[in-house]
Structure 1
Amino acid sequence: MTRPLLQLTTLLLATACAAGVTAQDEALDCVINPNSTVELGSHQDGVLEAVLARRGDIVTRGQALAVLDSEMEAMNAELARVRAESDTALRSSQVQAGYRDREWKRLESLRDNQSVSASLYEEADIEHQLARLAVETAKLERSIAQAEYDRARAQLTRRTIKSPVDGIVVDVVMSPGEYVHEQSTLMRLAATDPLFVEVYVPVASYGRITKGDRAIVRPEAPIGGEYRAEVTVVDQVFDAASRTFGIRLELPNQDFALPGGVRCTVEFSDGLETAASVPQ
């Protein structure tokens, strides 16, 4: 939670907590926040070619949001592809190795009949071994070419900037034509599924609320409605000044219908198990 939202939440809850009520006595004030905010940057430097999302758009993890100029990277990838797919050097070395193998076998049979000198045979034997090594070298070079092609494709892919989260585009900071570097922020995203409900509970309620407990969250107007949320965090450090401790609940928001940054009330009740009318 950002500092302004934390201060707002603390201020909202201070009055209720000062009255000495417990969480089971009545609804408590809370704030619904995104589970995280992301300042989207880039792996690489370059000129921004296109922005593919606008403020307010719903985006999914892995969705392309912006593209950097990638003409040079595309050319490098194509060159690497041609090298990786070429087997000319390998076939040439295999042909040479086949010839040297036949020549070596011919001279070996002649050596048995003492029809060829030892030096000529040794020369053929060395050429035979070198030809076999040339085949292995060609295979290795082709594997290296494939690896270089994979690297070139990865570098090209990194020119497309993708969303790391499911959420909402809060703000688009940069426009096409601007230069992007490693410190640049292209846009800001808010991950809103699930939402985090932050509430400060009187110390008197400590031990009565545990992880996995359910609660009813009621966003303020004009959002309205009632929603189930589950306790995921119970702070182990209290705030001595307000005599409260923090609790976080997770609120499913798969359809992104609920916005973040909304005030709400939350009610911890033993009757949640039978509250069938409360929407999920």
Structure 2
Amino acid sequence: MISGLRDAIYLRLRLWFRRGRGELSVRVAALVLGVACSLYGAGAIAQPDGLACLVDASARVKVGAAVTGLMAEVMVDRGDLVRAGQLVARLDSELEAAQVALMLAKSQNDAAVLTARNQLEFTSRKVERLRPLIASKAVTEAVYDEARTDMSGAQARLKDAERSLEQAGLELRRSEAQLRQREVRSPIDGVVTERLLSSGEYRYEQAPIMTIARIDPLYVETYAPIELIGRVRVGSRAAIEIEAPVGGSYTATVTVVDSVIDAASGTFGVRLSMPNPDRTVSAGLRCRLRFESAEARSELDADTAVKR
């Protein structure tokens, strides 16, 4: 009972310290962590029932928005499952929607282009009719030059109208992007763990709207004894036993092996990924693990026998 509590305190302090959380200063946190490491190193690492571990969410995202504004709607609440890309909240967007409608109308208004194109066709035909007459001196050079000038002006007006229509299309895309910024979508598949704002509240800059945790897969965090350096590798598998009263046996795969050893406890961090497609395992549970690698198991058993 005491050793299990000690393991849990140690793991949570290590994870908390690595994430930089808490209100204590770094010196106080380091002192607390050092005491925990001393207690942990006194006999909690190598036990017959495996290494102490902690099940954690594989990601926690504080979801915000690209802009500030009044919250129009929050579609989810704590405990709701969400999918990546799902609309979870929306800021007031009446002004942006009106701007999109305006720019859409402008981008579809091609009357100026049609008028300029007809004018160019007319002046082009006039120049073609005058070209043979200029050779026979039936018309003066001034009349012909005037017709060609009118045709050049029509060409310029057509290009300007087409450019304006293209610019209206680009402005429509910008307005649509600004409208999308008023929508908040989940970046991951997961479960809502906190709802921090509701409809009618104002979202200020950097203020999160909710927290979403990814629980498939789950991460299993543990600290292995230095004797397992080189024996526990990325890709190694481990059997996970969730502690009572929840219980349950699972298999996880090593995804991260720390390259820096904690000198105070003689351990190094290991992270494993554990599939949780049915979401039957909750984040935050304590567990024990044993590596399935024969080499790692034999080293852990030998270390256990020595410490006995």
Tell whether the structures are fold-level matches, with TM greater than 0.5: yes
Counterpart of 1:77 in structure 2: which amino acid?
Answer: V
Q: Deviations over 1:246-274 (max 9, x none)?
A: 10101112333321111111111247xxx
Q: Residues 4 and 21 of structure 1: is their aligned pair in 2 closer, same or farther, counting only changes over 3 Å?
A: closer
CA–CA distance in 2 between the matches of 1:232 and 1:200? 14
Q: Deviations over 1:156-192 (max 9, x none)?
A: 1221101111111111011111111222111111122
Matching residue within 263, 276, 281 for 1:253: 276
CA–CA distance in 2 between the matches of 1:4 and 1:113? 100
1:1-280 aligned within 5 A: 4=13, 6=15, 17-19=41-43, 26-270=49-293
Greater mean deviation of Cα atoms: 107-116 or 12-21: 12-21
CA–CA distance in 1 between the matches of 2:254 and 2:223? 13
The structural deviation recorded for 1:3 is 7.3
Structure 2 partner of 1:276? none
Aligned CA RMSD, in angstroms, stands at 2.5
Q: Residues 7 and 150 of structure 1: is their aligned pair in 2 closer, same or farther, counting only changes over 3 Å?
A: closer
Counterpart of 2:209 in structure 1: which amino acid?
Answer: L
Structure 2 partner of 1:275? none
Higher helix share: 2
Q: Give the conservation status (yes or no) of the 8 Å contact 1:213–1:230.
A: yes
Partner-residue secondary structure (3-state), 1:212: coil
The structural deviation recorded for 1:21 is 6.2
Counterpart of 1:212 in structure 2: which amino acid?
Answer: G
Unaligned runs of 5+ in 1: 272-280
Q: Residues 3 and 152 of structure 1: is their aligned pair in 2 closer, same or farther, counting only changes over 3 Å?
A: farther
**What is the number of equivalent residue pairs in this alignment?**
270
CA–CA distance in 1 between the matches of 2:17 and 2:282? 17
Partner-residue secondary structure (3-state), 1:237: coil
Q: Give the conservation status (yes or no) of the 8 Å contact 1:170–1:187.
A: yes
Q: Residues 20 and 256 of structure 1: is their aligned pair in 2 closer, same or farther, counting only changes over 3 Å?
A: closer
Higher RCO (CA-CA < 8 Å; seq separation 6+): 1
CA–CA distance in 2 between the matches of 1:199 and 1:146? 55
Q: Give the conservation status (yes or no) of the 8 Å contact 2:241–2:287.
A: yes
* Identical-residue share of aligned pairs (%): 36
Q: Residues 115 and 175 of structure 1: is their aligned pair in 2 closer, same or farther, counting only changes over 3 Å?
A: same
Q: Report the TM-score, using the length of structure 1 for normalisation.
A: 0.88
CA–CA distance in 2 between the matches of 1:7 and 1:117? 92
Counterpart of 1:99 in structure 2: which amino acid?
Answer: F
The structural deviation recorded for 1:83 is 0.9
CA–CA distance in 1 between the matches of 2:71 and 2:44? 56
Q: Report the TM-score, using the length of structure 2 for normalisation.
A: 0.81
